[in-house]
Amino acid sequence: MQINVKLDHGLLPDKYGKFAPENNLLAGQPITSFPIQIENAPRDTKAFALVLIDHDSIPVCGFTWIHWIATNIPADWQTIPENASIELKDRFIQGKNSNASRFVNGKPQTGYTGPTPPDQTHDYELTVYALDQILPLKNGYWLNEFFHAAKGHILDQQTLTLPSRAN
């Protein structure tokens, strides 16, 4: 399986992160998710899942920041379209991002919340999973619940590093 996200000069395009236009922000957070292309998924794939996290956030906030988790994405999608987190949210299940933490209490708390690195360019890690079944999760699940539900059901996974600029 291969995954691809188009970058702009080696960086995630601004409209998906910190420099998104005002109409793509909610409570100062970018909310337009970027498109993801998927090729050569295993034949037995029944659904896709994705995890977008930022390990470079650890020195800033003390933990890896969860930007987007989603599962039960239709297996026939060769592209997860731009803004799927909002426009197609009824077609798959989305979990809680780090804004849902009792230590953060921000918005939005489920779905995509884009990169907003405060200090320097951060490397965001996108992993797409090919699953052999639909997972028994509901909207608002936690990341650990995904890993428990997906155990033994991951046919393949691919990870991309997506840098996003701070200034």
Write out pLDDT tens, residues 33-87. Answer: 999 999 999 999 999 999 999 999 999 999 999 999 999 999 999 999 999 999 9
What percentage of the chain reaches a pLDDT higher than 70? Answer: 100
The structure tokens listed for 33 are 């998710």
What is the residue extent of each domain of the chain?
2-164
Lookup result for tokens 């998104």: 20
The arrangement of secondary structure in 2-164, i.e. its CATH architecture, is Alpha-Beta Complex (3.90)
pLDDT at residue 107, rounded to an integer: 87
- pLDDT at residue 134, rounded to an integer: 98
H or E stretch at 1: none
How confident is the model over 72-98, as pLDDT tens digits? 999 999 999 999 999 999 999 999 999
Residue 18, pLDDT > 90, answer yes
